[in-house]
Amino acid sequence: MRRARGTRRAVIGMAILGLWMVGLGMLVRQEYFRPHVERLAEAAMRVNPSATFYGVYQAGKQIGFASSTIDTAMAAITMSDYMVADLPVGGRLHRATARTNVTLSRGLRVQQFDVLMETDAGPVQATGLVMGDTLLVLAVGVGGAAPDTQRIRISGPILLPTVVPLAVALGERPKVGKTYLLPVFDPVAMAPKETHLTVHAESLFVVEDSASMDPVSHRWKGMLADTLRAWQVTGDAGAGGFDAWVDEQGRVVQSTQLRGLLRLRRLPYEVAFENWRLDGGGSDTAAAPSSDRDILETTAIAANRRLSGASAQLRVRLGGVDLRGFALDGGRQQLHGDTLVVTREELAQVPATLRNWARAHKSFPNEVSAEPLIQSDDAAIRRLATSLTAPTDRETVQRINRWVYDSLKKKITFGVPSATQVLKSRSGDCNEHTQLFVALARSASVPTRIAAGLAYVDGRFYYHAWPEVWLGQWVAVDPTFGQFPADASHLRFTIGGLERQAELLRLINTLKIDVIDHHP
């Protein structure tokens, strides 16, 4: 029983893992900058070739290495960023690497880019070609499958995340209190949005530019210290907790990522990489992380009281975070001030309506359509969905939910899941279960969307994702736990894919949950 609880607990809360991959290889996360073209052209003249290296830290321990390189030529500027990290999640280390290559004009306009992320779930690659100031041709491929290509309209020049500190520092001298409005485009979520950056502080830093081997400890140590000026640039909630110190050359001195879960610090190459390698970094034999460093556990939120059995109704008080913008109110959830009431749908009250393909596609065109990572029109997905289809939508959902729950091995993975890849691997956490369920349900013409938030397990609330299906009303389903409907301990904060789930970053280390009462 104890082992079963541990296994169940380990598959909770993995929505956040997909979000990390959106920004892992980017020293500045997920923001694009639209400065004045004249200032950018002038700034480009001051860009110099450079190579900067970083140690990646989590809970005070180095878990990875990162680098940022700038090359200049007569007609273009090339920026290359790399990060590798062994992330402690679910009792073991998960290797993740990310590479970003950006080609800019001498006016600092993005011409093309390539982002490659390699994780447990396989490689994810996004390539983009900017056509003037009006069109971005974006291709996203997952796990070696043929890439999905989209033509996305833009309304002016864009900058990729790694270019942002360059533009902030060189466009004009940073000044404390200055703000920047950023049109954001995420190459994985493929969704534009706007956010703000603010210059909060100015300070001097001492950094070491070279290293030497210590003959006693046989480790590299920094030397030739240099003093430089830097500005603290922070993002609002839409920036996912971005916080970095940027110097006069547009290079990051140090930064925090994901609400402080990860930290980057500029170091000489030998100190950043060779010392990490000497400590076992990058090795498959590295020791398993302790529970106090496990990201899954440290981001969980302890409940003030234990819940017994599956909850039919749950009432909680939410605090510590601005609740505006979250999908907390509607359907099974009612929000009254800071009090959230979740009531599980009664199966007897869910109508067993006959399947109606035309009505579903007319009323819910987006919720029955294929997406780049939800390939409901894939031949294998369609064959399986057909075999699981019943005369009514309710029975169809029950069959799909049971099949996904029974067929997928409960295993923590790290990456951006693809429905076709999950169908082949037959394993994963809540992201994989949800992605495959949504693809199958949509293929069967059942309107389906993704919900994400937190779910209660063993005294704590963990980050989690699950589907909602339209059966005369939106009904929560949990194929990870085999629940239909899902119990009331699922607290929905967002509806939608990765571009919406990124909002969950606002909750990390800030959200407080007090259970007022619950009814099994």
Tell me the mean pLDDT in the region 4-8. Answer: 32
pLDDT higher than threshold 70 for residue 283: no
Tell me the per-residue pLDDT of 169-215, one tens digit each, with 9 for 90 and over. Answer: 776 788 899 887 766 565 545 555 566 788 999 999 999 989 999 99
Q: 89 — phi, psi (to 5°)? A: -140, 130
Residue-level pLDDT at 221: 93
HEC profile for 217-282?
CCEEEEEEEEEEEEEEEEECHHHCCCEEEEECCCCEEEEEECCCCEEEEECCHHHHHHHHHHCCCC
Strands (E), 106-241: 110-119, 122-131, 135-142, 148-153, 179-186, 191-214, 219-235
pLDDT higher than threshold 60 for residue 111: yes
Q: Let me know: does 220 contact 272? Beta carbons within 8 Å.
A: no
Of residues 47 and 255, more confidence is placed in 255
Q: Where are the domains of the chain?
A: 2-278, 300-519
Least confident of 18-27, 254-263, 467-476: 18-27
Quote the CA–CA distance of 429 and 130 in Å, as a whole number.
Answer: 35
Tell me the per-residue pLDDT of 237-277, one tens digit each, with 9 for 90 and over. Answer: 544 556 889 998 888 999 887 767 789 999 999 999 999 99
- Output the average pLDDT for the chain: 82
* Token pair recorded at residue 251: 């290079």
- Surface-to-core class of residue 334, CB atoms within 10 Å of its CB (0-12 exposed, 13-18 middle, 19+ buried): middle
Q: Percent helix, strand, coil in the chain (nearest 5)?
A: 25, 40, 35
Residue in this structure with the two tokens 């990490």, named with its chain if needed: 276
- Surface-to-core class of residue 110, CB atoms within 10 Å of its CB (0-12 exposed, 13-18 middle, 19+ buried): buried
Quote the CA–CA distance of 239 and 305 in Å, as a whole number.
Answer: 33
Q: Which residues pair with 478 in a beta bridge?
A: 483
| pTM of the entire predicted model | 0.79
Residue in this structure with the two tokens 């007022």, named with its chain if needed: 516
User: 300-519 sits in which CATH class?
Assistant: alpha beta
pLDDT higher than threshold 80 for residue 26: no
Angle between helices 393-407 and 430-443 (to 10 degrees): 150
